[in-house]
Chain A
Amino acid sequence: DADVTQTPRNRITKTGKRIMLECSQTKGHDRMYWYRQDPGLGLQLIYYSFDVKDINKGEISDGYSVSRQAQAKFSLSLESAIPNQTALYFCATSDHRDRGTDTQYFGPGTRLTVL
């Protein structure tokens, strides 16, 4: 079984709809992240969480919100989806105990299309 799983894997929705993307991990890591990737661009950090009670905005958090339900679960919500949120979304985890460096492990991604 995959260490980092994301659901759904594909989603098509309409402008204005509320969407939730879910991420679960079995790696036992405290830190979790949400990224988006647009064609030809690098990964952009949306939100990150260093533990269950810690939530932080990344570089492109506008229009998104997150919830850390447990150490192993981190969900991303689009409150009112718009077409320019069409992208690939990735969840990642990291273990800070490795020399204080956060090697990130990514999930398989969710392809989101907003019409």
Chain B
Amino acid sequence: EDQVTQSPEALRLQEGESSSLNCSYTVSGLRGLFWYRQDPGKGPEFLFTLYSAGEEKEKERLKATLTKKESFLHITAPKPEDSATYLCAVQGESNFNKFYFGSGTKLNVKP
């Protein structure tokens, strides 16, 4: 069964303390893996789409990487404004009209 699991559920960092969020997935053929940022009460904001293992994408302090089983969102020297819930989702080849979302990692960056 296709599914997405994110860990940890919550992460508390000091400003400047780098870390990584994990997204493990099982899907029959990956069409795309997506990372979103969501602030409380707001819609998910698109960050990255990764298409195949080995691919990496960067945006400011964020870097997303992809293997055949998992993706990491690396946060370098985070700032308090990076505090949010980060969501991961996958779209498979065999059932391309379905999107599997993880429950998210809630990141809190303290000044």
Contact = CB atoms under 8 A, between A and B. Distances in A.
On whether the two chains bind one another, the answer is yes
Contacts of B51: 99, 101
Contact of B34 (A41, A48, A103): A103
Given A99-B51, A101-B49, A102-B32, A42 B102 contact: yes
Interface in A1-53: 4, 40-43, 45, 48, 50
A107 B99 contact: no
Interface stretch (B38-46, B57-65, B67-75): B38-46
Contact of A102 (B91, B101, B102): B91
B57 to A, nearest CB: 12
A45 B98 contact: yes
B7 interface: no
Given A41-B103, A42-B102, A48-B97, A103 B44 contact: no
A108 B42 contact: yes
A56 interface: yes
Contacts of A105: 46
A40 B41 CA distance: 13
A42 B31 CA distance: 20
Contacts of B42: 108-109
B78 interface: no
Contacts of A55: none
Query: Nearest 9 CB-CB pairs, A to B?
Result: A101-B32, A106-B43, A42-B101, A43-B101, A106-B44, A103-B49, A42-B103, A108-B43, A109-B43
Interface of B: 4, 31-32, 34, 36, 41-46, 49, 51, 87, 89, 91, 96-99, 101-104
